[in-house]
Structure 1
Amino acid sequence: MRTVFVIYLLVTLLQFVLCCEELTHYRKNDKCCKKCGPGKRMLLDDNCEDPRCQDCQIGEYQSGYTTNTKCERQPSCDPNLHLKPQEDKLIITKLNKCVCEDGYYCTQDDDCSTCVEHSVCKPGQRVAKKGSPDSDTVCEACKNGTFSTHDSADTCKEWTKCEPGYDESSPGSSTSDRSCIMGARGNSRVVIIGVLVAVLVLAVFLFLGVFFYKSKRNKGWEEFTQVKQDIACLNITPVHQEEADVERADRPLQQPEEDIDSSIPVSPTPSNMTENGNVVDQEHGKEHIISSTESNAYSYS
């Protein structure tokens, strides 16, 4: 009898568990009824197996299955307090917590209601750990032999090492670099290097000058030889040609002479007049003028 009772009790409990799962269902009047899912609220529970549910409005949320008729309110993140929602998109299925803006962090872990600005690492320090919305910035002093010159430096730089020939003029610190100045050995080295460079440059210029001089001289000799060969082929003596040109230049230009009539006008005389009383003209270039008498060839019948 006892064994039967135990078996009955186990079957009853198993049926109750299978029928009414606590996360998604609830018991009402010995019935296993459904709940509304995440992001929803229950309007009425008049239908146990298929209740009427409605989505949560903007600024509300419901993170799990529920029988409540109201959704939870999302927290208000005031930007004047450097607060902002953790996620920018609309969320109705879970709590959208407030977090601090960039450059600030929350002083409380659970409820972020106050934001504090991150610490600024000063010159001579470096950022050992960057700040987050939940924690402040951690600063660390620069080690010996290193320095930083601006705020919130990520790393500290090493001091400059003076090269051979240079001496330290001012030591380095956590906020400034070491400076170096040229020593006596460095000055002598610079002088030697300068002299060597000057000699090298002078040698290059001399080489180029000699090279161009020889090239120009060889080119001139070749041109002179070519001209001499051309003159020999034409069988022309340059000196005689020049003398002929000089004589031609010194010789005065001859103007064409006009014919001058040097004859003396002839006075009319009986010897140079015709029977009609006309003067006989003398032809130019003839020394003597022969006058001929005109005869009247009249026939009288």
Structure 2
Amino acid sequence: MKTVVFICFLVTLLYLVSCCDEDTHYLKVDKCCKKCGPGKRMLKDDNCDDPRCQDCLDGEYQSGFTSDTKCERQPSCDPNLHFQPQMNPSKTSLSKCQCEAGYYCTQEDDCDTCRKRTVCKAGERVLIEGSQFGDTVCEPCKNGTFSTHESAVTCKEWTICEHGFDKNAPGSSTSDRICVDDRRAHRGAVVVGVVALLLILIGIAATLYFTKGNKCWKELHKHFNKGRSHEHLDVEKPIYQQPVEVDEPVSPSPSNVTENGNVVEQERGKEPVYPSAESNSYSYSYS
């Protein structure tokens, strides 16, 4: 009899379990009860057939049917840690954090850390582009190629100099080869040399001219003045003579003619008297 009762209990239990969907229902005291839908949580399980449910709060989510009274928390995506801020995160699914531009997540399943992507420098090219969960891979430019800026996708080939042109600057991983006309470069070097020589000569002449205290300048100045002094000695000075007065003939006029018609001769002036020293000699008479 006990065996029959046990078998009936097992059959009843198996029936209840089979008729209760595990995704949308749960078993409570041998009774199949409803769960709350996605994005909601259960307030009380007092009503098995019509439970009281409430929407998850902002920053929370519930991805499936549940009998739990709490919702799951969305991850905190802090912009100060280089995460993109979450705008209106979902309440029915997990909203994973994403790194801002130029950064990548270290773990794809749980993005909890952001790292800065590698920047390919000049002289390199991007071999593998960085992604949300992977770093950038760079490759150095091969010989004969170059790149001049960061994050270059390709490396350019060096310029090939044509016939008659010389390599003025060899190429490198960061710069192109420069080609110039060999003849023009030679003429330019000659012109530069001539200009440099002229500047040196002008500098020497200016130094000698403005530096009067220089010994060489003094010698040249002394020699020059000596030659000029000899020239002055050889020149004869002009001899100045006292002008001689000449008596001009007096032409007759009414003022210098007598009644008889004779010309009156003009009386010559007295001869000049020159002072002479007085004689101190006295004559004494002795009686």
TM bucket (normalised to shorter chain) is 0.5 to 0.7
Which deviates further from its counterpart, 53-62 or 169-178?
A: 169-178
1:88, 1:148 → 2: CA distance? 40
Shift of 1:176: 0.9
Q: Deviations over 1:82-121 (max 9, x none)?
A: 1125x63331011112221111122344433332211111
- Mapped pair 1:79 → 2:95: no
Q: Match for residue 24 of structure 2?
A: 24
Q: How does 1:23-102 map to 2 (within 5 A)?
A: 23-85=23-85, 88-102=87-101
Q: How does 1:1-301 map to 2 (within 5 A)?
A: 15-16=15-16, 18-85=18-85, 88-183=87-182
One-letter identity of the residue aligned with 1:57: L
One-letter identity of the residue aligned with 1:166: F
TM-score (norm: length of structure 1): 0.53
One-letter identity of the residue aligned with 1:51: P
2:124, 2:18 → 1: CA distance? 64
Q: Residue 84 of structure 1 aligns to a residue in which SS?
A: coil
Q: Match for residue 261 of structure 1?
A: none
Q: In the superposition, relative to structure 1, how do residues 12 and 178 fare at CA in structure 2: closer, same or farther (>3 Å)?
A: farther
1:17, 1:141 → 2: CA distance? 66
2:9, 2:52 → 1: CA distance? 34
1:95, 1:122 → 2: CA distance? 38
- Alignment root-mean-square deviation, CA: 2.7
Q: Percent identity?
A: 68
Which deviates further from its counterpart, 133-142 or 162-171?
A: 162-171
2:162, 2:44 → 1: CA distance? 87
Q: In the superposition, relative to structure 1, how do residues 10 and 143 fare at CA in structure 2: closer, same or farther (>3 Å)?
A: farther
Shift of 1:13: 7.8
Q: In the superposition, relative to structure 1, how do residues 9 and 144 fare at CA in structure 2: closer, same or farther (>3 Å)?
A: farther
Q: Deviations over 1:108-153 (max 9, x none)?
A: 4443333221111111101112222222111111112210011111
1:9, 1:129 → 2: CA distance? 65
2:142, 2:83 → 1: CA distance? 37
1:77, 1:100 → 2: CA distance? 9
Unmatched 5+ residue regions in structure 2? 1-7, 185-287
Q: In the superposition, relative to structure 1, how do residues 14 and 145 fare at CA in structure 2: closer, same or farther (>3 Å)?
A: farther
